[in-house]
Chains A and B, each alone.
Chain A
C-alpha cells in the first residue's frame, strides 16, 4: 500500500491550484482568461499587494486563497520580495466585479 501525504486542513486540490498559479505567474498566457494576477506596487516599485481573480477557487475560504497566492509567490519571487507582500486577496470574477476591482 503506498503512503501518501494527507493534510486534512487544506482543500484536496490546494497543491494543484498553487502549481497552476505559479505557472501563470512565471509564464503568463495572454490567451488564458484566468487566473488574472494583479500586482500593486508601493512608491519604491515593490510589489506589496497581490490580487488574483480566478473562478477555480470559489470553493475555497478567503484565508486558503491567500495561502495559495503566498505559496505560489514564494516559488516565483525572492524571499525578500515575498516578505514585502502584505495583502494577498483571492477573488472570484463575481466578487471582483462586486468589489469594484478593475481586472478585465
Chain B
C-alpha cells in the first residue's frame, strides 16, 4: 500500500509515536556519526517532540491506542484556560509541551520534583527550544558538530527521563 494511503488510513496512536521517537533518535545518532549534523538535529527535535507529547498524553490518562492528533487541540485549549500566558507557536513547539507537563503535574497534585523541573526547563524549555525549530527543514543552516552534540545530549535527557515526567 502506498505510504500516503497507509498513513491517512491509519492515524498514529500513542504507541506508534513512541516507536517513531526511538527510530528518529537512532537515525539521528547515525547521522551524527556520518557528520550530517543538520539532518541529525532535525530528527532529534522530532524525537524530543514525540516523547514530550507522549508524556502529556499519559498524564491526561490516555492509553497506547489513543489517536495522537485527537488529543492536541484539547491540550491547547486546556493551556489557554489554565495558563494563558504560556506562548504557543504551533504543535511542534517544544517549550509549550514542556510547560504543559509542568502544569499538568501541578494540576494533578504531583508537582515535578525540583531537580526534574529544573532539568526540563534547562534541556527543553530553554535548551532544545532555542536549538531546534521545525521550520529548519526548508533551509541550509550550516549547523556543525558544535550544534549537534548539545542537541544530542538534551534529547538523550528527554529519551531517558520522559517516563519520569509522567
Contact = CB atoms under 8 A, between A and B. Distances in A.
Interface stretch (B34-42, B64-72, B132-140): B64-72
How many residues of A sit at the interface, in one of the four size bands? 20 to 34
Nearest to A79: B81
A3 to B, nearest CB: 25
Contact of A89 (B69, B76, B82, B90): B69
A61 to B, nearest CB: 8
Grouping DSSP codes into helix (H, G, I), strand (E, B) and loop, the A interface class, with mixed when no group exceeds half, is: helix
A69 B73 contact: yes
Interface residues of B, number: 20
A53 to B, nearest CB: 13
Contacts of A74: 77
A57 to B, nearest CB: 13
Interface string B1-23: 00000000101000000000000
Contacts, number: 53
Contacts of B90: 9
Interface in A7-27: 9
Given A63-B91, A98-B9, A83 B72 contact: no
A87 B76 contact: no
B62 interface: yes
A67 B78 CA distance: 12
Contacts of A98: 9
Contact of B74 (A9, A88, A99): A88
A85 B61 CA distance: 11
B70 A82 contact: no
A36 interface: no
B60 interface: yes
Given A63-B72, A67-B76, A82-B81, A87 B11 contact: no
A35 interface: no
Interface of A: 9, 49, 51, 62-63, 66-67, 69-71, 73-74, 79, 82-83, 85-89, 98-99
In order of increasing CB-CB distance, the 3 nearest A-B pairs are: A66-B73, A89-B70, A62-B69
Given A70-B74, A71-B77, A73-B77, 19 more contacts: A9-B90, A62-B69, A62-B70, A63-B73, A66-B69, A66-B73, A67-B73, A74-B77, A83-B81, A85-B74, A85-B77, A86-B71, A87-B67, A87-B74, A88-B73, A88-B74, A89-B70, A98-B9, A99-B11
